[in-house]
Amino acid sequence: MGLLKKIFKFYEPPVCGGRTEEYIKGLHDDIEITDIISFSFERQGDYTFKVSEEDGMYHVESSGMSRFGRDGTEFVLDYMTDGKLVEKLREVCIKYELSKDNGHTIHVAGLPPCGGETIDVRFKSGDRIYRSSNQGSMVPKDAFHEIFDAFRNDAKNHNYDFTTDKSMINYDDADYVYLQGTWTGTHFGKHVYVEFIGENVTIMIDGKTTDKCKWQVVDGRVIPDNGEKYPKFNGMSCMTKYMANGLTAHFYENKSSSTASLMRVKE
């Protein structure tokens, strides 16, 4: 028992909710913001933006959730660009004085990996900006928006975008052939019936027809093809492919959400 007590005393895991706050030695606010060698910004569970000098060009890596927030999917971009992106990021560093509070790190034990931010910028002068927190934001809101826009605009200049359909990863989304036929399920006791015939879909909830229209797949979501900016069905919001043989019906109403599993009816 004495040995076990010593072992457990030696290993004392962080107390859940315990907060550690410190400053990294050698980093200070008064730095020389020259040309950028590398720039990295991460918003945990949301976006990661990286660019670094490489062979006279700049290597860009961007990833994050799609614009429609599909569960478990994200856009992933990896390409080379010129110096316009890092020059814009240098302007953001100066404009929002991102070197203020330099070296500040915050870690709260027990938090899930989402909501925190880390920024890490290295300059040719040898100076560095580094701030990190797993609890909240480390850059001003407007600065984040300009960082986001800088990376997205650069991506669009290379015929990419922050959407899964423009990503370098191919997602196994529902397509014309997969959807054809009849699908059924239950949503809070109500029978859900969906039938795809060619480019048309019929949706019935508890025997009542709620939708009879054309459909389309956008960023993995099956939605009405009615020309609206944010289209959704009347009987549900949208549908997405689930695994290799199912569909998920999504219901969004009054900021609440729920789903129903739909299975194909065999002919």
Could you tell me the pLDDT band of residue 17, with boundaries at 50, 70 and 90? Answer: low
CATH number at residue 181: 2.40.128
Among 119, 144, 166, the domain-final residue is: 166
More confident call, 167 vs 22: 22
C-alpha distances in Å from residue 117, one per residue of 6, 28, 79, 132, 202: 37, 19, 24, 6, 44
Query: Which of 123, 146, 166 delimits the end of a domain?
Result: 166
Position 5 scores a pLDDT of 47
160-170 per-position pLDDT tens digit: 887 766 666 66
Within this chain, do residues 160 and 180 fall inside the same structural domain, yes or no? no
pLDDT tens by residue, 200-247 = 999 999 999 999 999 999 878 899 999 887 899 999 999 988 877 889
Q: Helix axis angle, 141-157 relative to 84-95, nearest 10°?
A: 170
Regarding pTM above 0.75, the answer is no
The tally of domains found in the chain comes to 2
User: Is residue 261 helix, strand or coil?
Assistant: strand
Q: Are strands 128-133 and 104-108 parallel, antiparallel or unpaired?
A: parallel
pLDDT over 70 percentage in the chain: 86
Note whether 153 and 27 are same-domain residues: yes
**Residue 220 is assigned to a structural domain of this protein:** yes
185 and 158 belong to one structural domain: no
Domain of residue 196 covers: 176-264
Average of per-residue pLDDT across 47-60: 96
Q: Based on the domain organization, do 256 and 203 belong to the same domain?
A: yes
Q: How far apart are CA 217 and CA 173, in angstroms?
A: 8
